[in-house]
Amino acid sequence: MAPRPRQSGSSTTTPPPIGPTPPTTVPLSDEAKAIMSYLAGLGLGGTPGRDVLGLEGKGEFNDGQLVAYEGPRKTIGGEQVLPQYFEGDDQAIATWDAEEVIAWQKRLASGGYFLGQSYQPGIVRQSTLDAYKRALIDANQSFISVEQALERSKKFPYSGGGGSLKKYRMTSSMDLTNVFDKVSQNVLGRTLDTEELDKLVKTYQGVELAGQKSQAGVAEQAPTAAAFAQKKIEAGNQDEADAVQFAGYAQTLERMLGG
């Protein structure tokens, strides 16, 4: 079982906010007010030091505990809820053992947080750090825990943001046409017509795209263009391919017999 993610913040009004009072009608408890007064007396009313992941806010910590917070919060069930993850929390996954990392990589991949990037199971590289950070940001922006975000992603996978589309790399149509022409010459003794070539090119590019969009964690590797073309051309022109292959055998035998 993977460890509970490092969680810096608090999900309730304790610890209380330091700085300008947030625009809310939810009253603070007497205990919260007393803590606010105590923290102010310690001089903790200055600018907090760690950014909230994914939101404009900061937190100040003492021995790992949040003691001061400035930033957005949400009212749920009559209580003020704070974001839970701060700058540095996204690095925690690098400290876990391989088994724990694998478990989390699978959950992050299943939830769509890798955005099609590949990863090496049990090894923390940039793609894993990025996926884990996305999950923490996703949780913060909804004022929930990362566990709740991952559970939600089972029904509503993470799709990123920022208004930009992910770019996928595909082999150019011209390069594929050249490869497929050569394969067709070898298999059929002729080139394919334009319609056949276009269909084959689009099919192969679709295979490449599907592999890069795979949510299984490690992107699926498309077959080489030559291997793909040979299989498809033979399957669609079996009699012709057999005839060319037989003719090749006959020529080889004739040469061996000195004909």
DSSP string, 67-129: EEEES--EEETTEEE----BTTGGGGGGGS-HHHHHHHHHHHHHTTTTTT----TT---HHHH
Give the pLDDT confidence score for residue 255 in this predicted structure.
63
Judged against a pLDDT cut of 80, whether residue 107 lies above it is answered with yes
Task: Give the β-pairing of 58-62 and 50-51.
Answer: antiparallel
List all residues 6 or more positions away from 34 whose beta carbon is below 8 Å from its beta carbon: none
Judged against a pLDDT cut of 90, whether residue 180 lies above it is answered with no
- Compute the distance between CA of residue 192 and CA of residue 25 in angstroms, rounded to an integer: 73
Give the pLDDT confidence score for residue 52 in this predicted structure.
92
Identify the CA nearest to 140 among candidates 227, 64, 58: 58
What confidence tier does 239 reach under pLDDT thresholds 50, 70, 90? low
Please give the mean pLDDT across all residues of the chain.
74
Q: Which residue has the higher pLDDT, 201 or 99?
A: 99
Task: Give residue 78's region: left, alpha or beta (phi > 0; psi -120 to 50).
Answer: left
Q: Quote the percentage of the chain above a pLDDT of 70.
A: 63
The answer, as to whether pTM is greater than 0.85, is no
